[in-house]
Amino acid sequence: MHTDPRYDYAQRQPRPPQPVDAGLLEADIPVEVRLSLYRKLQELRQWGKRTHDLFLQNLVKGTSHLSLGMEAIATGFAAAMEPDDYTFATYRGHGHSLARGMGPGPALAEMLGRENGILGGKGGSMHLTDVEHGMMGSYAIVGAHMCVANGAAWSAQMRASGQVAVCFFGDGTTNIGAFHEALNLAKIWNLPVVFVCENNLYMEYTPIDLITAVPRPAADRAPAYGLDSIVIDGNDPDAVYLAAREALGRARGGDGPSLIEAITYRSGGHSRADPAKYRPPVEVEAWKERDPITVYRSRLVDLGTAAETLDAIEHEVSVAIDDATEFAKNGREPGEDTLLTDVYADGGSRWRNGTPENPVGSGPAPTAVSATGGTSTLSYREAVARGIAQEMRRDPRLVMLGEDVAAAGGVFKTTVGLLDEFGPDRVRDTPISEQAIIGAAMGAAMTGTPVIAEIMFSDFLAVCWDMVANEIAKSRYMTNGQVSFPLVIRTANGGGARFGAQHSQSVENWAMAIPGLKVVAPSSPADVVGLLAAAIRDPDPVVFFEHKALMAAKAEVPDGEIVDQLGVARVLREGTDCTIAALALMVPRALEAAEQLAGDGISVEVIDVRSLVPLDTETILASVSKTGRLFTVEENPRLCGWGAELVSIVDEEAFWSLDGPSIRITTPHIPLPSAAALEDLAMPSAERIYTTVAKALEGGGME
């Protein structure tokens, strides 16, 4: 048994609160503001207690992370904010939601999982959002929202709207990478954002001082980012209000970000499953005496407010909470009619065409070009720059950010010339901070600024996958359609450049598996321009994979504006004996193999899938019904590649049209090696495609 005294919680030195600042009695705060603060304190407290009661009645499912005892921070800041300012909070965001104006009834109904909840039962306790009142979300994964708040502030800065983003986070967040990435970006871009650390002294169950290198987890790190060390009494509404008023004024006046550490204490455990026995009893009792409602009521009485007035406020709030409870209880359980709604901006969840619900599908869309009829020879990389420039000229709101995208023109020279034409405000270099990049893109997009974000190598998506898969992809659904994300994440994908396993992966299948994302991978310069335009104009988030090994490939591209359509595959070569479906680099290799097979008398139909989500299954099913055989050519490792999904669909829906098994031609299930000879052996080649198809059609079986 260990003897480390740091973990003997019963013997730990308690951390009592600081005495009340008597000077706040004379603070320049109008009486109507103070009465409003008291009303909100009561609303947050009574709502929290009612939620706890409903949890004990087994009406609140799952868990809840209540902010009982911490209400002064939410009320003080909300009182100082303008109605159109933005709030970002943690999973303990109920108080912030109510303070910004969310109705207690819809908030309680969401806790009960009812259809009349603010999120229709889709988000629950940890994701309360009310965009109408500037509550831009409660975020369940620690730290992510700090980067997102930067994006909202960046959007406000570019629009010169005067809005400020305020981001609340817990003390434990200060030890996660997103905290540091967010502070750095906010400072170097001088963003109108205020970060507020709600330091309740415990990360979750563990005292924050046991696992943090500095005594004040936020304030002591502020100087490293050129910010002032600000510590306030988070249990005093007046102290919070005054600090908020000053920080918001600085941000609104163009003086950049602030970081405030508010010392507070939660009266209960981390969540409803936590009895909080790890806290010294003497510490708990000391903080109870500093309860924000107790302190503030006493101050208001000292300032001359009649106790009867405060009693009346408390009663009015009590009646409102009772009404909210009935509203929540009377809500119906959500059903199948809402289950599949608001995954995408069209209000539904459809990720393919040719389904029973949509048997016709979208069909091919003509490519729009100028009336000149001329063409220009462009490389794949030049097509990327042309596509971006086309859309930035069309939409003056459109911005781009990423590492080395400005003066350097991108590591693959895909953004050359954009800085000169559009300037540094719209073409922004960033630190090597993938979470900060994607978080900023998300926050800007959800507040009305369309964005192109570049992640240099698709392998690096793993660094910011939380932002992509958990935040961007899921937020429309979790908020019941309250937010949209007109953003494109561009990234260089795939092998062939001899970069090795950490810079050569083909990861389209990562994104394809996440509901809420759209996924595109063009194979030609013309498709780069047209599909990039379609992706930028799409109201949903699109991950746009640009293949490294195709960058130098050149082709004729129509002059003028080109706008293609997502979710439309293209038949590049017609045939009758088999269908090959390929993507990106595998398309020219499939065409080469098809030409070789034609010499053997085998007629191959080659389909460039182009878009994985939406997926054009109608074109593929029609082709397989004609040819009777399907081969997929995938650069992904064998397991769980996009071709596996395609084969599954064909086997389920076109089985009786097949003359033999569907066959996948893939990279082996290995990390991609660096040596040229090994990489060439691993990736599907035109020769391997030819051999596999020829053998299968001769009755030789699978690859």
Would you please indicate which residues are annotated as catalytic (active-site) residues? Answer: 503
Contact 456, 489 (CB under 8 A): no
* Residue owning tokens 């806290």: 279
CA triplet 380, 381, 383: central angle to 5 degrees?
A: 65
Q: Which of 345, 587, 327, 309 is nearest to 446 (CA)?
A: 345
**C-beta neighbour count of 210 within 10 angstroms:** 11
Phi then psi dihedrals of residue 637, to 5 deg: -60, 160
Exposed, middle or buried: residue 506 (CB in 10 Å: 0-12, 13-18, 19+)? buried
Q: Using CA atoms, how far apart are residues 59 and 683, in angstroms rounded to an integer?
A: 54
In order of 307, 641, 642, 684, 697, the CA distances from 691 in angstroms are: 89, 21, 22, 11, 10
Instruction: State how far the Cα of 639 lies from the Cα of 382, in Å rounded to an integer.
Output: 34
Q: Decide if 458 contacts 520 (C-beta within 8 A).
A: no
Closest CA to 46 of 98, 119, 2, 8: 98
Between CA 85 and CA 82 the distance in angstroms is 5
Q: What's the one-letter identity of residue 374?
A: G
| Helix boundaries (H) for 189-233 | none
The tokens describing 324, both together, are 């909210």
What are the Cα distances from residue 630, in Å, to 218, 297, 591, 650, 654?
58, 75, 15, 8, 11
End-to-end CA distance of the chain: 58
